[in-house]
Amino acid sequence: MTKNPLLNIKDLPEFSSIKPAHVEPALDELLKNNRQLCEDLLSNNDHYSWDNLVEPLEIADNELQRMWSPISHMNSVVNTPELRDAYNAGLPKLSEFSTEMGQNQALFAAIKQIRDDKEFNLDAAQQKSLDDSIKSFRLSGVDLPEAEKKRYGEINKQLSTLTSAYSDNVLDATNAWSKQIADKNDLAGLPESALEQAAQAASQRELEGWLLTLEFPSYYAVITYADDRALREEIYRAYSTRASDQGDDPALDNSENMAKILQLRQEKAQLLGFNNYAELSLDTKMAESPQHVLEFLQELAEKSHPFAVKEYQELKTFAQTELGLDDLQAWDISYASEKLKQQRYSISDEDLKPYFPVDKVLEGLFKLVEGLYTIRIRQQEISETWHPDVRFFEIYDSQTDQLKARFYLDLYARPHKRGGAWMADFCSRFQSKQGLQTPVAFMTCNSAPPAGDKPALFTHDEVITLFHEFGHGLHHMMTEVGYLDISGISGVEWDAVELPSQFMENWCWQREALDLFAAHYQSGEKIPDELFEKMQAARHFQSAMAMVRQLEFSIFDMRLHMDTTIDSAAKIQAVLDETRRQVAVIIPPEFNRFQHGFSHIFAGGYAAGYYSYKWAEVLSADAFARFEEEGLFNPDVGEDFLREILQVGGSRPAMESFMAFRGREPSIDALLRHSGLVN
């Protein structure tokens, strides 16, 4: 048999060699080896230690991670039916293995013995790692009676299958819709860059004219700029009904998946002794309780809602008097908002795009973090990636020239690639007898690709997204922790994981930082002062409307997972409708099925955790305020942030890390100020 490229990956994955047929055999072999190793370690020792139990299991876990992460990643970025089938076949096996390990009584007893044994002199990070493990055993049902343990395992397997099916339906529904336009006049209002993208999309599929899709850059351009109201309505309807009972394909309807996911989560929580899934979710987070979270969100809602009402009223008045839109509809809001912004501030996203060519943005981003954290980033040419657009970089310590980390960057939207932006890891920093493993990250965005002979030009929002994901990447890559389950972002409470990413967004508004990366793609000139001032003036345009929208999602998510009675899509809709009545200023049309594509909570890690964005934004705004107070490029503050936040990973509670950097507990004031929500 030919060598399986997923086994014994020595350095980086050989993406071009990986075939769907390799997945199950590699996974089966590693799971079998890992089970045998655990059995051998537990039977051959009478006195367990970190060296004779924890580290060998970490080495085996690491090999499994290195095998599976390229498959999980490729399933998201170069999805094919064959790869999807192989990936989905692996999920229940991984779930079963994870449950088995989490319910292994002998392993649990051994880990507790190591934690309690005073002779080992474990360092603080090792103690935190073992404490996390002990909690994880309890949350895996290690203490349950046999029949309930079995049911717990069945629930986890079903959940892994259902969440993947949910995600697949969203991707397929996104890919299924397109609209060919033969007459350019039908696209009146669209900026030149969007027309070029649409023409390129058509030619790539050997079609005439222009092609609109539900990939976000295409959708965003139409909903924001198209003068044709019927076209805006058509694409809005297609986008907001993806994978739902209102969509075109009943086979892609996520209604049943959502209801089943929520029922299984509730059952799992009750098995473990929690009243609801929200309580289970928060057991490993910073927030104390679901009620505590709702109080936090409602406080923000109370402070921002009056501003949002005022903003929306202004928009309705403008739409009526200036655009003749007496009945402002959901598909008019982005369009009317863009026109109002242009009238009020004489600025549009398109005015800024020429100043954000991809290479200059990357160069400036790297220059910024190199200055803050004494590192150097170099691009490397490698032949092995999953797509020709992918770039590869290495990070070095600028004082010692030692290699710190490596990362892949996949920036552009394309068919068969999941929407959104994210950071995932191929492997973490890991110190073992085998040596030091250098962390490797996958960073993914969905910006508009280059068109014709022009470079890719980012909107300011796309620049912010890139900086956000790079913040996650730095959290993963800059860690100095060498224990696998608390290295980088591992072991960090989920509601603190967004701190380093949202922190990075702040630089996108600072003149000194913009001057590092904003330069016109033709002339090379920096953003003129007049344009910069307009950009700053428009910074808080409709920020309260944006705030209440995020609060709507967060409160909906938390209430959904506190409700123990949900057994249908209709009940999910009822929770969303009730939440909107309380906090939203825009009530979407009845056909809107936002929840059917809310992958963060139904297929990502944000179930009863979407509030984390706002929670961590309080932390990140307050952390950035220290740079504002002591100097944006103050090397001492940068060094403190690196040492107290980025390098410690999950080796201590996030609140301790924040207080070590800030010298006090977080305050909500900086967030309100950064959002323009103070009188």
CATH number of the domain at 368, please.
1.10.1370.40
Strands 422-427 and 440-447: antiparallel
Percentage with pLDDT > 90 across the chain = 95
Contacts of residue 564, defined as CB under 8 A and 6 or more positions apart, other chains included, come to 266, 275, 276
Give the DSSP H/E element, type plus range, for residue 180: strand 178-181
Instruction: Please tell me what DSSP assigns to residue 50.
Output: I
pLDDT at 1 over 60: no
Note the residue count of the chain.
Answer: 679
Residues 506 and 562 in one domain: no
Residues 492 and 382 in one domain: yes
Residues 238 and 266 in one domain: no
Residue type, 115: R
4 backbone dihedrals φ, ψ, rounded to 5°: -90, 115
- For residues 589-601, give the mean pLDDT: 98
Give the model confidence (pLDDT) of 564-589 as tens digits: 999 999 999 999 999 999 999 999 99
Whole-number Cα distances in Å, 290 to 276, 492, 563: 10, 19, 11
Domain range enclosing 620: 354-537+613-674
Decide if 9 is inside a domain: no
* pLDDT computed for residue 679 by the predictor: 64
pLDDT at 56 over 60: yes
Decide if 159 is inside a domain: no
Q: How many domains does the chain have?
A: 4
Residues 257 and 373 in one domain: no
Decide if 168 is inside a domain: no
pLDDT at 168 over 80: yes
Residues 231 and 276 in one domain: no
Q: Catalytic residue, from 279, 350, 462, 469: name it.
A: 469
pLDDT at 463 over 90: yes
Percentage with pLDDT > 70 across the chain = 100
Q: Exposure pattern of 144-175 as b/e (b: 16+ CB <10 Å)?
A: beeeebebbbbbbbbbbbbbbbbbbbbbbbbe
pLDDT grade, residue 359 (50/70/90)?
very high
* pLDDT computed for residue 236 by the predictor: 98
Alpha-carbon distance of 40 to 49, in angstroms, equals 15
Cβ–Cβ < 8 Å for 169, 254: yes
Residues 517 and 582 in one domain: no
Q: What pTM value is reported for the model?
A: 0.95
pLDDT at 212 over 60: yes
Handedness of CA 653, 658, 664, 666 (dihedral sign): negative
Residues 278 and 409 in one domain: no
- For residues 101-127, give the mean pLDDT: 94
| CB-based burial label for 513 (10 Å; 0-12, 13-18, 19+) | buried
* pLDDT computed for residue 529 by the predictor: 97
Give the model confidence (pLDDT) of 599-641 as tens digits: 999 999 999 999 999 999 999 999 999 999 999 999 999 999 9
DSSP 363-388: HHHHHHHHHHHTEEEEEE--S--SST
Decide if 2 is inside a domain: no
Average pLDDT, the chain: 96
The reply to whether 370 belongs to the active site is no
Decide if 7 is inside a domain: no
Decide if 657 is inside a domain: yes
Residues 603 and 634 in one domain: no
pLDDT grade, residue 312 (50/70/90)?
very high
pLDDT at 119 over 90: no
* pLDDT computed for residue 120 by the predictor: 82
Name the nearest CA neighbour of 507 among 642, 411, 368.
368
Residues 644 and 604 in one domain: no
* pLDDT computed for residue 428 by the predictor: 98
Cβ–Cβ < 8 Å for 353, 457: yes
Name the nearest CA neighbour of 125 among 491, 375, 420.
491
Alpha-carbon distance of 372 to 500, in angstroms, equals 13
